[in-house]
Amino acid sequence: MSDDPEPSPAPALEWRGAFTNDELNALHAEGFGHRLLHDDWLAQVQRHSLGWVCVRQSGRLAGFVNVAWDGGVHAFVLDTVVAEPLRRQGIARAMVAEAVRQAKAQGREWLHVDFDPHLRDFYFDACGFRPTDAGVIQLRG
């Protein structure tokens, strides 16, 4: 008999998976390093998103990607986050691949993303985005 602990089950990935505002607010605060907020994510994604991807491990929300939508051919990857202990295992890459698959299947033509420079390898190499010119204006300090 082995004394090895039971291996953790593989993370389960789901398009438009169920989540609660409390668990996503906690994951977002941990992932992006800000104080715990009480945003109504459920209302936001149901109203404004093409969809979203949830990853759960052992029942816990461990990853999330939001795919916002203009109502037409453009969709936007936002809020990509994976719980710290589960990073560098390909979870975010798999979530973005699912977002690409779903957006394509629903007839969208363009999937956009913007990100900080240290994530170039992730979005360009691991996820297949190609560089483009883009711009942004901060509307509120």
Ligand X SMILES: CC(C)(COP(=O)(O)OP(=O)(O)OC[C@H]1O[C@@H](n2cnc3c(N)ncnc32)[C@H](O)[C@@H]1OP(=O)(O)O)[C@@H](O)C(=O)NCCC(=O)NCCS
Which is nearer to ligand X, 27 or 50 (by Cβ)? 27
Contact 28, 62 (CB under 8 A): no
To the nearest whole angstrom, how small is the minimum distance from the Cβ of residue 64 to ligand X? 9
Q: Which are the contacts of 82, defined by CB distance < 8 A and separation ≥ 6?
A: 31, 55, 62, 63, 91, 92, 95
Residue 34 interacting with ligand X (CB under 6 A):
no
For tokens 């996503």, what's the residue?
24
- Contacting ligand X within 39-58 (CB under 6 A): none
Q: Which residue has tokens 């560089």?
A: 131
Q: 113: which 2 tokens?
A: 């993303």
Interface with ligand X by CB under 6 A: which range of 11-19, 43-51, 75-83, 102-110? Answer: 75-83
Contact 14, 53 (CB under 8 A): yes
90 near ligand X, judged by CB under 6 A? yes
- Minimum Å distance from CB 134 to ligand X? 13
Q: Which residues bind ligand X (CB under 6 A)?
A: 31-32, 80-82, 87-93, 115, 118-119, 121-122, 125-126
